[in-house]
Amino acid sequence: MAVEFYIHKMSEHMETGEIINWLVTEGGHVEEHQPIIEVMTDKFVVELEAPAAGILAGIRPGCVPGATVPVGETIAYIVQPGEDVPRLAPLPGYEPPPVPEPAPVPAVAATSAVEPELIGRVKSTPVARRMAKDLGIDIEAVRGTGPGGRVMEADIRAFVTARTAATAPVEQPAAPAPPPQTKTEAVAPTPAPAPVAAAGAADGAFRWQELTPVQRITGERMRESVVNAPQFALEVTADATNLLWLREALQDRVTLEARARLSVTGLLVKIVAAALTRHPLANAQFDGGRLRLHHDINIGVAFGTDQGLVVPVIKHADRKTLAEVTAEMAAFQEKARTMHFRPEDLSDGTFTVSNLGMFGVERFAAIVNPPQSAILSVGAVVKTPVALSNDTVGVRPLMALTVTIDHRVLDGLQGARFLGEVKQKIETPYFLI
């Protein structure tokens, strides 16, 4: 029996995925769990695996690189040799590549190079359409170089570059005044109606840079978080003396087991997980007027990349050893370099830890990562003079901890108790030994 292959929902907000590349051609044999396609989701590029062994067949017409596909809709089948392959309807708006038109080439070229693409909507990738809209470009004027004449992101860039170049040297012909140029280009000395983006770039006043898909969706989700969730922040300062001592004491053992170095963030993941077991509301979410209390403690750790912010999730963090957490974080760090995550790497988070201490940031308040109810912001460890219990002054390594909370889920007292628990466990972390 043919096995359906589709893009499944990989995050709370994901509704579509953009096909980046097929890793296996139609008719090719695949093994179960073999990656067969690369898809850009709302936050990352992921390789989707074959649900069964067999032959990749019946790819839905229109499912080409650059196409946007709704989650849950079948895009291909895995079949066995000799098995019938069901036929799938084309993607909405898909037009098959035009059949060769040998004779009319001169006539088409004489009128306009864009004419063939003006019949119906111009085929283009979602990224290209967004970029054209942001830059004020009529996408119908852009010549596509993708499959079937599809306008790609690179085509928009080339169009802007060409328009900018055409606008900049516009007054050079005035000095030589060559007579042969009596075509429509002769009007060029008056600035052409170029997009505002190109004009500004030509003046050197600024340049445009489009958002990456990760930056775009992160911005949308953070705006949604601020608008929908009434948030407040609480801050304490923790003495990290014992935490730093413990890291050094466990470093060799953990490095041997995990093949990666134990970090302060790794220790904090375990500390936060332990605190969440005693404060379940910080591990909950607001859902339609009720609270969803999660049984699992899945802690997301924020990683910065060239594409934007990603938050891979350490599942069941309360049950894992320090070595397991360290190894998982090292694997996530490597995946973040290429933005190639598995769907399960970035899903089902129930709490987030964001540590900017390694960048010298001493304190900050992050925005809650929806649909979660809280996020812990960790600042740099700073050696600070403090008053000791015997009324003397000493120097201690202190770190600022700020928890941002959805007030619909926790109030100030509940948030303070949770943050106090985290502080206490940082200052006496011996339960981790």
The enclosing domain of 23 has a CATH number of 2.40.50.100
At residue 101, the pLDDT reads 61
User: 40: pLDDT confidence band, cut at 50, 70 and 90?
Assistant: confident
Q: How many structural domains comprise the chain? A: 3
* Angle separating helix axes 264-278 and 322-338, nearest 10 degrees: 120
Per-residue pLDDT for 225 more than 60? Answer: yes
* pTM of the full structure: 0.66
- What is the predicted pLDDT for the residue at 147? 67
d(CA 334, CA 329) in angstroms, rounded, equals: 9
Q: Count other Cβ atoms within 10 Å, centred on residue 245.
A: 12
Share of the chain above pLDDT 90, in %: 55
**Percentage of the residues of the chain whose pLDDT score is greater than 70:** 82
Q: Write down the pLDDT at residue 215.
A: 82
Residues 289 and 186 in one domain: no
Residues 331 and 237 reside in one and the same domain:
yes
- Segment 26-41 shows an average pLDDT of 90
Helical pair 264-278 and 241-258, crossing angle rounded to 10 deg: 110
Q: According to the model, what pLDDT value does residue 99 have? A: 61
Mean predicted lDDT score pLDDT of the chain = 84
Q: How far apart are CA 45 and CA 209, in angstroms?
A: 20
End position of a domain, from candidates 203, 236, 252: 203
Residue 132 is part of which domain span?
A: 105-203
Beta bridge partners of 398: 239, 382
Give mean pLDDT, residues 33-44. 83
Reading the block at residue 16, the tokens are 């579509």
Residues 248 and 380 in one domain: yes
Q: Residue 44 contacts by C-beta under 8 Å, 6 or more apart in sequence?
A: 214, 307, 310, 339, 340, 341, 346
Query: How far apart are alpha carbons 231 and 113 in whole angstroms?
Result: 54
pLDDT of residue 164: 61
Q: How far apart are CA 394 and CA 383, in angstroms?
A: 10
Q: Can you read off the two tokens belonging to residue 283?
A: 């591990």
Give the model's confidence band at 341: pLDDT under 50 very low, under 70 low, under 90 confident, else very high.
Answer: confident
Same domain assignment for residues 264 and 346? yes
194 and 233 belong to one structural domain: no
Shared domain for 115 and 73, answered yes or no, is: no
218 has a pLDDT exceeding 70: yes
Last residue of a domain, one of 188, 203, 218: 203
- Using the predicted structure, report yes or no on whether residue 194 has a pLDDT greater than 50: no
- How many residues make up the chain in this entry? 433
Query: Does residue 212 lie in a domain region?
Result: no
pLDDT band at residue 117 using 50, 70 and 90 as cut-offs: very low
Q: How many CB atoms lie within 10 A of CB 269?
A: 27
Q: What is the pLDDT of residues 281-314, one digit of tens each?
A: 999 999 989 999 999 999 999 998 877 888 999 9
Residue 321 and residue 235 share a domain: yes
Does residue 382 form part of some domain? Answer: yes
As a whole number, mean pLDDT of residues 330-342 equals: 86
Residue 153: strand, helix, or coil: helix
Q: What is residue 102's predicted lDDT score, i.e. its pLDDT?
A: 58
* Model pLDDT for residues 148-166, shown as the tens digit of each residue: 677 877 788 788 777 766 5
How does residue 93 score in pLDDT terms, banded at 50, 70 and 90? Answer: confident
pLDDT score, position 181: 47
Q: Are residues 299 and 400 in the same domain?
A: yes
Domain membership of residue 88 (yes or no) is no
Q: Using the 3D structure, point to which of 79, 113, 147 is the last residue of a domain.
A: 79
Predicted confidence band of residue 109 (pLDDT cuts 50, 70, 90): very low
Which CATH number belongs to the domain containing residue 325 in this structure?
3.30.559.10
Any domain includes 99: no
Asked whether residue 97 is domain-assigned, the answer is no
Provide mean pLDDT across the span 120-144: 73
Residues 340 and 421 in one domain: yes
What is the pLDDT, as a whole number, of residue 364? 96
Residues 414 and 381 in one domain: yes
> For residue range 380-422, what is the model confidence (pLDDT) as tens digits?
999 999 998 888 999 999 999 999 999 999 999 999 999 999 9
Domain identity same for 235 and 340:
yes
Question: In this structure, are 346 and 383 located in the same domain?
Answer: yes
pLDDT at 406: 97
